[in-house]
Amino acid sequence: MNKSASNSNDYIVIKAKEDGVSVIGLTRGSDTRFHHSEKLDEGEVMIAQFTEHTSAIKIRGHAKISTAYGEVESEKKHD
Ligand code: TRP
């Protein structure tokens, strides 16, 4: 299987709507674990791809996420 068949080359765009948003990369393969965490402050943008090493991306905190599939907003946990 070539890379373009297994991974999308599309970028996802994450724009933080509050301070302290985490963008967490999870490993590809049988062992799914965090491999990278990036903190964004309000207004900061991260542009990321799914790669050979990254199969999932978890976002904690309030952010706007734009993908080829559409836009979604993550919400801040309110207790
Ligand atoms: N070294 C990582 C990789 O190539 C960098 C990375 C790509 C990443 N996409 C990510 C880190 C998304 C966190 C979230 O897979």
Domains of the chain by residue range: 15-69
The phi, psi pair for 66, rounded to 5°, reads -110, 130
Q: What is the pLDDT of residue 8?
A: 57
Q: Is the CB of 51 under 6 A from ligand 1?
A: yes
Q: Is the CB of 37 under 6 A from ligand 1?
A: no
pLDDT in tens, the chain (79 residues): 444 444 557 899 999 999 999 999 999 999 999 999 999 999 999 999 999 999 999 999 999 999 999 999 999 987 7
Q: What is the pLDDT of residue 33?
A: 98
Q: Which CATH class is domain 15-69?
A: mainly beta
pTM of this structure? 0.89
E strands in 28-62:
34-40, 45-49, 54-60
The residue whose CB lies within 8 Å of the most ligand 1 atoms, and thus the one to mutate among 23, 49, 59, is 49
Q: What is the pLDDT of residue 10?
A: 83
E strands in the chain:
11-16, 21-27, 34-40, 45-49, 54-60, 63-67, 70-74
Cβ proximity of 78 and 28 under 8 Å: no
Q: What is the pLDDT of residue 4?
A: 46
